[in-house]
Amino acid sequence: MKRPILLHPDPRLKKAAAPVADLSDELRVLGDDMLTTMYDAPGIGLAAPQIGVLSRVIVLDCVKEEGEAPRPLLMFNPEIVASSDDLSTYEEGCLSIPEQYADVTRPAEIEVRWLDRDGKEQQEAFDGLWATCVQHEIDHLDGKLFIDYLKPLKRQMITRKMVKLKRELARG
């Protein structure tokens, strides 16, 4: 089921999400709903706080090549266990901050540990767009947005645009 995505500024986007204690069918449904919502948006990543659920759950799929099989990942309690000293800069966007993009510099390679939908621990190294996306989504779980990496003036400008957009949407 597709769920509505919260738009910045929304206080729920700035709150830290709680760890998932036990994997339940309800959480698996949440993960499936998040994938549906992400693909429909369309996006390459989504964190549970973006749909108003303050749990440490993210989904991502950074496969963008035409004809390449999708690789949807559902991660419960993801954590970065290692990151490279090498940095990379990507132009990031966010489903909670539509039509706004900015360059963000992050570690180029990271190692992430998480629980999969069966409750099995997984660990994998990511680089390129995948590394950026995982870090962006884990930031959401900590109440951090990509605009928090920007200089205050640029961040305020984007926030003002979002307040205006939300007003327009509310008017219908």
Q: Which residues are catalytic?
A: 137
135/112 Cα distance (integer angstroms):
9
What separation in angstroms does the CA of 39 have from each of 64, 85, 162?
Answer: 12, 32, 22
Cis before 72 (ω within 30): no
154 Cβ neighbours under 8 A, 6+ residues apart: 102, 147
Amino acid at 97: I
Do 135 and 143 touch, CB atoms closer than 8 A?
Answer: no
108 by DSSP, 3-state: which? coil
